[in-house]
Structure 1
C-alpha cells in the first residue's frame, strides 16, 4: 500500500511538472511573437514617420522630472500605466534623457 501511494504521488508530481513545462514553453513562444511584432511596428513607424500621440498625463510626469522629483514621477507613471516599479523606473529614466 505504501509503495502504491508513493507511485501515485510520483506520477502526480511528474504530471504537474510536465504541465508547468508546457505552460512555460507556450509563454516563451508568446513573448517571442510579441517581441517580433513590436519590432515590426517600430520599423513601420520609423519608416512612415508616424509617432504615437503624447498623452497629456505625461506632461505632469515631465513637470515633476523638471522639478527634480524623480520618485514622484515614477509613482505618477505607475498610477497612469499600471506598470510595476522596475518598468516605471526605466520608463521615467528614459524620459529624463
Structure 2
C-alpha cells in the first residue's frame, strides 16, 4: 500500500516537473521572439541601445569573436547559452543585411 502511494507521489512530482520545464521553454521562446521584435523596432526607429556591454557584444561579434561575444552577452544579461548564441547570431545576420 505504501509503495503504491510512494509511486503515485513520484509520478505526480515527475509530471509537475515536466510540465514546468515545458512551460519554461515556451516562455523562453516567446521572450526571445519578443526581444527580437523589439530589436527590429528600435533599429527601424533609428534608436540605439545605449548599453555599453551590448555595444561591446556587437563589436566582438562583428570582429568574428563569437565565443567572447556570447560570454559577454551572458555576463551582461544573465541569459543562457542558447539565448546568448542566438543574440550574437542575430547581430551578425543584421550586419550582413546592412
Using structure 2 for the length normalisation, give the TM-score.
0.55
Unaligned runs of 5+ in 1: none
Unaligned runs of 5+ in 2: 94-98
- The question of 1:59 aligning with 2:41 is answered no
| Number of matched pairs | 83
Using structure 1 for the length normalisation, give the TM-score.
0.55
Cα separation, 1, equivalents of 2:63 and 2:10:
55
Higher relative contact order (CA 8 A, sep 6+): 2
SS in 1 for 2:85: helix
Q: CA RMSD in A?
A: 3.7
What is aligned with 2:65?
69
Deviations 1:9-65 (A, max 9, x none): 3443455356x17x827x73xx57xx4xx5xx86xx68xx59574422222112212
Higher alpha-carbon deviation: 72-81 or 6-15? 6-15
Larger Rg: 1
- The question of 1:9 aligning with 2:6 is answered yes
Cα separation, 1, equivalents of 2:11 and 2:69:
47
